[in-house]
Amino acid sequence: MRNRSFKIAAIALALSLSGCGMLPEKVDETRTWSASRLYSEARDELASGNYERAIQHFEKLESRYPFGTYAQQAQMEIAYAHYRAGEQPEALAAVERFIKLHPNHPNVDYMYYLRGLINFNDRIGFLSFLSRQDPSERDPKAARDAFDSFKQLAERFPDSVYAKDAIARLKYLVNAMAQYEVHVAKYYYRRGAYVAAANRAQIAVAEYREAPAVEEALFVMAQSYDAMGMTKLRDDTNRVLKQNFPNSSYFSGGPKENKPWWQIW
């Protein structure tokens, strides 16, 4: 009886194992697709906002047809799809990979532009009527990275169709970085750290001379020197402020609350 039970259990186990092997495998519907169809379907998924599926199609296209224009186009599309999906690390990695593999590609200027856009991230500025958060109050690292990418594009590809927009964003970023220094300077000033406040304001004046934020930076510097009793430096700073901004509202109690400087997009 014991042997019989053992045999039955063994037969049942064998049948269950063989049954697993009989289950149909999941069929990849794209296995017979041509490169052109795979690319077309991936583009349709991308246009529909199905970024994950689009990326999967582009990756299959690149692996199955590694040579030629389709593979290179797929690499660019993968970077863009990650960007649209909000996957910044993956998007940047894809951009860097493409630039490294194809430094002389006719559309490599677009990849520099895309790298700038990934870091630029102006969503908060666009939704400022909800958040009221000044982008200059955020960590400036992304702004610096975006600045470097747009600058490389403008310098290396001055005739690029993306150059004009890149230059406009460069101007925006210059003032964003200058305004960040002013924001930090004001933070120190409110807490009575007048030396630190003057130093941070001076950074804005020295490094971003053409930025509109320089006006406020000079005002913060003058306030800081006045708080420390350094009247000569205060007067010198006020003289520079008056010379460069003769109609500055800071001479009459400071500017009125208007539309934030960063609401330009």
**Is residue 29, in this structure, part of any structural domain at all?**
no
Number of independent structural domains in the chain: 2
**Is residue 218, in this structure, part of any structural domain at all?**
yes
* pLDDT score for 139: 61
Region class of 92: left (phi > 0), else alpha (psi between -120 and 50), else beta: alpha
Owning domain of residue 198? 180-252
Band (13; pLDDT cuts 50, 70, 90): low
**Is residue 155, in this structure, part of any structural domain at all?**
no
The last residue of a domain, from among 69, 85, 101: 85
Residue type present at position 210:
E
Residue-wise pLDDT for 188-232, tens only, equals 999 999 999 999 999 999 999 889 999 999 999 999 999 999 999
CB 140 within 8 A of CB 180: yes
Residue-wise pLDDT for 55-102, tens only, equals 999 999 999 999 888 999 999 999 999 999 999 999 999 999 999 999
User: Got the DSSP string for 113-140?
Assistant: HHHHHHHH--HHHHTHHHH---GGGS-T
Q: What is the pTM of this model?
A: 0.72
**Is residue 55, in this structure, part of any structural domain at all?**
yes
Report residue 52 as tokens.
Answer: 């994950």
Find the CATH number of the domain harbouring 210: 1.25.40.10
